[in-house]
A = this chain, B = another copy of it.
Amino acid sequence: MYTALYNHINTFVDLSNDEREILASMLKSFLFKKKAFLLEQGQICRSNYFVVKGCLRLYFIDIKGVEQTTQFAIENWWITDLTSFLFQKPSDFFVQAAEDTRVIAIEQHRYDEMFERLPKIEKYFRLILQKNHQASQRRIMFLYSFTAEERYRHFNSLFPEFVQRIPQYMLASYLGFTPEFLSKIRAKK
């Protein structure tokens, strides 16, 4: 049931079968259809989501009414609006399935209990939060270093198959420019 998550956890810490069972009792598994919403702006974020297969995206609608994608999560990544999730207050974000997506969810009222009962999970989350922090430092450097065109070419060379998988307008806003400009770049070669 939760083997994808167990496997991921095991690349960081060793969980016993007993620990896996305790953990399993706190998790839920869902399948979301493409375009389904896991969270909408104004709602309170109930869960932190681990992507087993598929792709979720986190986005908001800016002052001009345009969707701005701030994060993607593919296989083995967690995604949520942390502020809304932790403090149970209304979110500024949407979480939506970019394709049919299998997720494992932990609800907020179970989240702290999980750390109390499973110290190894405390370490696991500390380690994946470190990875997130590394990714954020890299992303800021990336945004501040390169032009729009360079950002696209770089991203495309790192994740060519992912670029095929998702609509271009989502990628454009993630990289910080408009879909029209992305079209222009792509036409160039």
Contact = CB atoms under 8 A, between A and B. Distances in A.
Given A70-B144, A122-B122, A144-B70, A130 B92 contact: no
Copies in the complex: 2
Interface in A71-89: 71, 81-83, 86
Contact of A144 (B68, B81, B86, B129): B68
A130 B130 contact: no
Contacts of A123: 115, 122
Given A119-B119, A129-B133, A130-B129, A143 B141 contact: no
Given A83-B134, A132-B133, A137-B83, A144 B173 contact: yes
Q: Classify the secondary structure of A's interface with B.
A: helix
A141 B63 CA distance: 11
A125 interface: yes
Given A70-B137, A82-B134, A137-B70, A63 B119 contact: no
Interface in A42-74: 58, 60, 62-63, 68, 70-71
Contact of A82 (B115, B137, B176): B137
How big is the A interface, by class? 20 to 34
Nearest to A87: B134
Given A70-B137, A134-B82, A143 B145 contact: no
Contacts of A141: 60, 68, 70, 92
Interface of A: 58, 60, 62-63, 68, 70-71, 81-83, 86, 92, 115, 119, 122-123, 125-126, 129-130, 132-134, 136-141, 143-145, 173, 176
